[in-house]
Structure 1
Amino acid sequence: MQLTLYTDYALRTLVFLACNPERLASIREIAEAYGISENHLIKIIHRLGQGGFIETIRGRNGGLRLGRPSEDIRLGDVVRYTEEELGLVVCMQTAKEKGSTCRLMPNCRLRSVLGTALSAFMSVLDQTTLADVVSSDEWQALHAPPITP
């Protein structure tokens, strides 16, 4: 399974904000820290705000911060919220399930095994909070001066 860049950037944004809980951060700052397009990040920030994962403060002294403590943000919730489709194969994808052309349905054992694997993957993410993945090394890396060639 591979998560989309959208989800990757959403998780990175949350990690950045968790590393800086004492202040508001800007979209530009996050984009520069990870080498992400600001335009793409704006869409992600908007969606994370709609989901209550972050809070956006408008105005001259505005910025971004976590919408709730990092201990209360489960990675599984973020992944489910940002991924459009978690099905590992076409027949598992909800949007296409009604029109599935698989001749083995509904007795396919492969689908069952892949479903179990996906459940195990999500279970690990459900047991992991944002606070669990933010280390002092991450904080230091985000606050180190950029490396110039």
Structure 2
Amino acid sequence: MQLTRFTDIGLRVVMRLAVAGENDADTTVLTTKTLAAELAVPYTHVAKVVGRLSEMGVVHARRGRSGGLAITDLGQGARVGWLASSLEGTGEVVDCEGPQPCPLRRACRLRGALARARTAFFTSLDEQTVADLVREPTTAVLLSLTPHPPEAAADPARAQT
């Protein structure tokens, strides 16, 4: 099973917020923009993810000049399986009813087997909390993230066009 990019970004955002302020040198106010730069993902994607995490009660977002993002107590102790399945949504692993419906759908056992496997996948992730994911050595790596330059600036050939 492959998680969507949305879920991947969501998990990375939560992990980064979970270690914010863990050392005295980390005084950066984390915003959607700084997270996007640190995690090297598009700002628009991070903005959508932060909105969803805020709706879920995992992240507290303050707008405006003194704004920023912070993980909530719920987010800090969240089970990874719950978080991932909430971000993924309830869709099925395969689309049997799409524009070209599968001719096996009335008597297929694959759909049920895949649904059970999906449930088992998220259940196994529930053995870990966000706090578990960010223990050392991950804490040090998360705290050492620095903003990445935009792709055009990183590639001299693209910067000249």
TM (norm. structure 2) is 0.73
Counterpart for residue 59 of structure 1: 64
The root-mean-square deviation of aligned C-alpha atoms, in Å, is: 2.9
Give the direction of change, closer, same or farther, for the CA distance of 1:52–1:69 in structure 2 (3 Å limit). Answer: closer
Report SS of the residue matched to 2:60.
Answer: strand
Q: Count residues with an aligned counterpart.
A: 144
Look up the SS of the partner of 1:61 in the other structure: coil
The answer as to whether partners of 1:19 and 1:138 remain within 8 angstroms in 2 is no
Q: Deviations over 1:72-129 (max 9, x none)?
A: 21222222222245422113xxxx48x9944444442222322221121011123321
Unaligned 5+ segments in structure 1 are none
Structure 1 residue 36, shift from structure 2 partner: 1.2
Looking at structure 2, the residues matched to 85 and 38 of structure 1 have their Cα atoms a distance apart, in angstroms, of 25
What residue number does 1:11 align with? 11
| Matches of 2:20 and 2:8, distance apart in 1 | 19
Partner Cα separation in structure 1 for residue 67 and residue 3 of structure 2: 30
2:81 corresponds to 1:76: yes
Q: Does 1:49 find its partner at 2:46?
A: no
How does the TM-score come out when normalised to structure 1?
0.78
Please list every run of 5 or more consecutive structure 2 residues that lacks an aligned counterpart in the other structure: 155-161
Q: Which residue in the other structure is 2:139 paired with?
A: 139
Q: Equivalent pairs: percent with the same residue?
A: 31
Conservation of the 8 A alpha-carbon contact between 1:75 and 1:125: yes
Shift of 1:64: 0.4
Q: Which amino acid aligns with 2:10?
A: A
Structure having the higher helix fraction is 1
Q: Does the CA contact (< 8 Å) of 2:18 and 2:76 recur in 1? A: no
Is the 2:6–2:87 contact (alpha carbons within 8 Å) kept by the matching residues of 1?
yes
Describe the SS at the equivalent of 2:70.
strand
Describe the SS at the equivalent of 2:33.
helix
Query: What's the counterpart of residue 158 of structure 2?
Result: none
CA contact (8 A) 1:21 1:66 kept: no
Structure 2: which amino acid aligns with 1:82? L
> Take 1:56 and 1:71, find their aligned partners in 2: how far apart are those partners?
15
Distance 1:7 1:136, change over 3 A: same
Q: Which amino acid aligns with 1:142?
A: L
Moved over 3 A (4+): 21-24, 99-107, 145-149
